[in-house]
Structure 1
Amino acid sequence: MPESKRKGIYLLPNLLTTGGLFSGFYAVVSAMNGHFEAAAIAIFVAMLFDGLDGRVARMTNTQSDFGAEYDSMADMVSFGIAPALVSYTWGLTELGKLGWLAAFIYVAGAALRLARFNTQIGTADKRYFQGLASPAAAALVAGLVWVGVDYDISGEDYGLLVALLTAAAGLLMISNFKYNSFKEVNWHGKVPFVALLVVMLVFVVVATAPSLVLFIAFLLYTIAGPVNTFRSVDKVKLEHVVGDTDDNHDADFDSDAPGEDKPDGKQEK
């Protein structure tokens, strides 16, 4: 009789996913203790783990259904709950109901995006994300908090602005705006030597003021989604912004896809 397949889970990719989950949880704990800079940085660290776990799984051929589901649950904590709580404790508490409602809109947007993604696997145009990816939304919110702490800005003094950005990030996650996934970039091909110099320059610029540079970069990326969408259609309809898509929509709109493939069997959320 053939030997039965050994049960278990792959250690390396799930260990990286656990690192991302821990970073998201650490962000929540840090925010509760008033350490907002550490909380914001922890969310960016979670993004690094999220980018690594799937790629390592694909490189080592250790993809699994368990890894895919675990990745989604970890992302809900790191890019859904953590950014909302960090934003709320930093700048939304004085707004009362308006503050926690803005934070809840973000959490609900992240949950709905993950749910929509899980039902659309295999139908993706890999060139684009459908809506703002949850790691990018988390980076936008965490970047705002990080900038505020670095420049001694009290979030409570700008509570309405913080609420607007937090809620907008949540709504953009469930929108139909298309965002470049950069999937078409050939990371294995040769590039001119000057490209290496450009990469070095980018690292230098980020190192000079990481909070400000990262926040501006993700803010511009967030704005690029609506701009790309409005430029790609002759007549903007409701389904180009939000709602279910159909065949006619596909004909007018280059993509209604969630995004790039995640190596754990997932695509970018």
Structure 2
Amino acid sequence: MNDQLSTDRPDPLDELDGPAPSRPRRKGIYILPNLFTLAGLFGGFYAVVMAMNGRFDQAAIGVFCAMVLDSLDGRVARMTNTQSAFGEQMDSLADMVSFGAAPALIVYEWALRGLGKLGWLAAFVYCAGAALRLARFNTNIGVVDKRFFQGLPSPAAAALVTGLIWVMDDMGYKGVRDIPWLTWLAFALTLYAGLTMVTNVPFYSFKDVNFKRTVPFIVIVAIALGIAVITYHPPLVLFGVFIVYGISGYVVYAIKKSHGRPVSVIATSTDEPDEEGLHR
């Protein structure tokens, strides 16, 4: 009987060992939104290669194509419910290449090299501004009013810098380093774009535009006319649009200040002292 009890009683060592713990399931990577991100990254890399070969018009087109793809990857992820932490990090890294390093290198090769130290310092200010702007965006994403960007978004800053190159190249300005006024214009615009990215000036984000909502017929007509105007002369029209957008934030800031309205785009505050300076 004792033998029977001893066989029915569970072995304590077996209870300690227990069943082997199951391995956590590895998460896969969504293909569709990351394809858009990789395509945008290729646009930025292509732009650098073209600039190294003196094809500055193609370099500008590469950056603008990267902008279009960057605007699509997030929307595609939300529409297909394929958002992921990996996609967010991938998007930020691709943006740093396409809208941070690439425009800085392109404008340096195009005009700033002839200014010596001032030239590469201006390019570095732009590149650093893009990095700081992306880092602050990732940090403040939960507390910023989604209707506005805090500072000039990096794609728009890249459009200002490369848009000037595209327009001037289209107008036949070659050997820009030998044209002092154009060199200094590129210098000033590069600094403006780089510093505006790290300001607290509010720029409209267009994120509250609902594409699922019905609109009047005249809106479709206006969109068709806009496409026609852009295709008439893409370099000049696109550069003009982004010049207006690059100034619009300061106009909104001045209007809000003059009416005594709050100009900060931070929707809520944080109690973490290490992050206090990021939200002001």
Q: Using structure 1 for the length normalisation, give the TM-score.
A: 0.86
Q: How does 1:81-230 map to 2 (within 5 A)?
A: 81-154=101-174, 155-156=176-177, 157=179, 158-230=182-254
Q: Find the counterpart in structure 2 of residue 47 from structure 1.
A: 67
Query: Percent of pairs identical after alignment?
Result: 56
Q: Which amino acid aligns with 1:184?
A: D
Runs of 4+ in 1 over 3 A off after TM superposition: 1-6
**Structure 1 residues 105-144: Cα deviation after superposition (integer angstroms, max 9, x where no partner):** 1000000001111211210101111100001101111111
Instruction: Give the conservation status (yes or no) of the 8 Å contact 2:200–2:264.
Output: no
Q: Find the counterpart in structure 2 of residue 61 from structure 1.
A: 81
SS in 1 for 2:209: coil
Q: Which amino acid aligns with 1:103?
A: A
**Is 1:13 matched up with 2:22?**
no
Q: Which amino acid aligns with 2:96?
A: M
SS in 1 for 2:265: coil
The structure number with the bigger radius of gyration is 2
Give the C-alpha shift of residue 2 in structure 1.
Answer: 8.4
Matches of 2:84 and 2:213, distance apart in 1: 28
Give the total of aligned pairs. Answer: 243
Give the C-alpha shift of residue 24 in structure 1.
Answer: 0.3
**Is 1:252 matched up with 2:272?**
no
Give the C-alpha shift of residue 93 in structure 1.
Answer: 1.2
RMSD over aligned CA atoms reads 1.8
Instruction: Give the conservation status (yes or no) of the 8 Å contact 1:232–1:254.
Output: no
Q: How does 1:71-86 map to 2 (within 5 A)?
A: 71-86=91-106
Uncovered stretches (5+) of structure 1, i.e. residues with no partner: 237-250, 258-269
SS in 1 for 2:140: coil
Matches of 1:224 and 1:117, distance apart in 2: 19
Matches of 1:184 and 1:121, distance apart in 2: 15
Q: Which amino acid aligns with 2:98?
A: S
Give the C-alpha shift of residue 218 in structure 1.
Answer: 0.1
State the structure with bigger RCO (CA 8 A, min sep 6), 1 or 2: 1
